[in-house]
Structure 1
Amino acid sequence: MLKHVKSSVFLALIMLLVLAFPTATWAHSKLETSTPAADAKLTENVKEVSLSFNENIDENLSTIKIKNEQGEAVEVSEVNVTENNMVGTLAAPLPTGSYTVEWKIVGGDGHPVDGTYNFEVDAPEAETVPETPAETPADNEETPADTGNAQEETAPADDNTADNTDQKTDQNQQEEKSSTNEESPGSGTIVWIIIIVVVAFVASYFGIKASRKKK
């Protein structure tokens, strides 16, 4: 009987201790909300991850990491802790893919607590500005009017060339005729001189011969 009483008193004391110090017994810091939320599927750019806990956390001992589906760490440029909130700012918006958030904190009770959760991103495609072509093929093609003007411009040049050629031909012909005319009188004069010399030689020959016969 006495043993049963002692056991009941001991159990009652344990229950009183548990009820008197519930926080010290099992209430550690825990994650209450997150942005992006666990298992979320986002179709917008994600530039930061924000976590909220049920109590203030130590800013010097609390960390946050983000990894892609290949297990590679995503660069977190800055981590800010304010009371029970921790915000990790990303160096660049997350591309499409699956990501894991790994957090580790130290709460008011001094106990370290950590956890993980996943989310997915289907990032919108960046808009591309169409490039304006520097020059279109139509700009290089000559219009019929332009072609006609070009032909009209080249035609006088051809006519002038033909006229110049004709003038040169006429000049050459005239020079040839004049040279022929100049040579003709000279040639005739020489022939007559030769004939006169021959006649004079023959006459003198026969005259000398006749004079010898008379003697």
Structure 2
Amino acid sequence: MTGKPARAFLLLGLLCAVLGVFAAPALAHDTLRSSTPVSNAVVSGLDLVELEFNNNVRYPVVLLHDAAGQRFPSGTPRVRGAKVFVDVDEPLPSGSYTVVWRVVSADGRPLEGEIPFTVRSSTAPLQTAPVSSAPAPSRTPVSAMAETDEQGGLPGWTWVAMAGVALAGAGALLMWWRRRPAHRKWS
């Protein structure tokens, strides 16, 4: 294959390579990098909740509750770039707790998650949550939640890129069909 069809396929390959290079950063979604407390940590007390993301975030909501679902007072979340800070207003008694958080990432996608932890104070006995016969609610791990698409489908740019590749392929096929020798026929 020489001439214009070969150049068309070469151009198509180059276009796909360029799209692939620029699409790679778009595949990376914002995620939670670290937190204080860390997931499943055992701490002696907690004065401040700190969440660090890999990119700037907006509109944080951070709640603190115990295993029975009782909410504990906390301050208003503050954002500094990729970090969210929330003061814990009162000392926490010994027991199991969860930090529930939700932010809007730099690309506009909501991110949410939960961070379970335990407070074991040397001065207070460990409190236990009442036993319930109801099944525990299922929880999605933070990393899985952060990486799933909200609508469950592919991002719009992916469909545009696939449509471009399909149109380029159809154009190359049409060029080949028109230039084929008249004596050739499909068998």
Give the shorter-chain TM-score range.
Answer: 0.5 to 0.7
Q: 1:17/1:69 Cα in 2 relative to 1: closer, same or farther (>3 Å)?
A: same
Write 1 or 2 for the structure with the bigger share of helix: 1
Q: Out of 85, 88, 102, which is 1:87 matched to?
A: 85
Specify the SS of the correspondent of 1:70.
coil
Q: Runs of 4+ in structure 1 displaced over 2 angstroms? A: 5-16
Alpha carbons 2:60, 2:77 under 8 Å: kept? no
Write 1 or 2 for the structure with the bigger share of strand: 2
For these two proteins, the number of residue pairs brought into alignment is 121
How far apart in 2 are the matches of 1:74 and 1:47?
A: 12
Specify the SS of the correspondent of 1:46.
coil
With a CA cutoff of 8 Å and minimum separation of 6, indicate the structure with the bigger relative contact order: 2
Q: How far did 1:69 drift?
A: 0.4
Amino acid at match of 1:77: G
Aligned to 1:32: 33
2:72 is aligned with 1:49:
no
Q: 1:14/1:73 Cα in 2 relative to 1: closer, same or farther (>3 Å)?
A: farther
Q: 1:12/1:71 Cα in 2 relative to 1: closer, same or farther (>3 Å)?
A: farther
Alpha carbons 1:78, 1:90 under 8 Å: kept? no
Structure with max Cα Rg: 1
Specify the SS of the correspondent of 1:78.
coil
Q: 1:7/1:48 Cα in 2 relative to 1: closer, same or farther (>3 Å)?
A: same
How far apart in 1 are the matches of 2:122 and 2:62?
A: 25
Structure 2 unpaired stretches of 5+: 125-187
2:107 is aligned with 1:106:
no
Alpha carbons 1:34, 1:49 under 8 Å: kept? yes
Specify the SS of the correspondent of 1:20.
helix
Aligned to 1:22: 24
Q: Deviations over 1:99-120 (max 9, x none)?
A: 1111111122222111222111
TM-score, normalising length: structure 2: 0.56
Amino acid at match of 2:47: K
Q: 1:12/1:48 Cα in 2 relative to 1: closer, same or farther (>3 Å)?
A: same
Q: How far did 1:13 drift?
A: 3.9
TM-score, normalising length: structure 1: 0.49
Q: How far did 1:54 drift?
A: 0.8
Matches within 5 A, 1:1-215: 13-23=15-25, 25-42=26-43, 44-58=44-58, 61-125=59-123
Identity percentage over the alignment? Answer: 29
Alpha carbons 1:31, 1:53 under 8 Å: kept? yes
Alpha carbons 1:45, 1:124 under 8 Å: kept? no
Specify the SS of the correspondent of 1:67.
strand
How far apart in 2 are the matches of 1:62 and 1:14?
A: 38
Specify the SS of the correspondent of 1:37.
coil
Specify the SS of the correspondent of 1:22.
helix
Q: How far did 1:124 drift?
A: 2.7
How far apart in 2 are the matches of 1:13 and 1:74?
A: 55
Q: How far did 1:11 drift?
A: 6.8
What is the CA RMSD across the aligned residues, in angstroms? Answer: 2.6
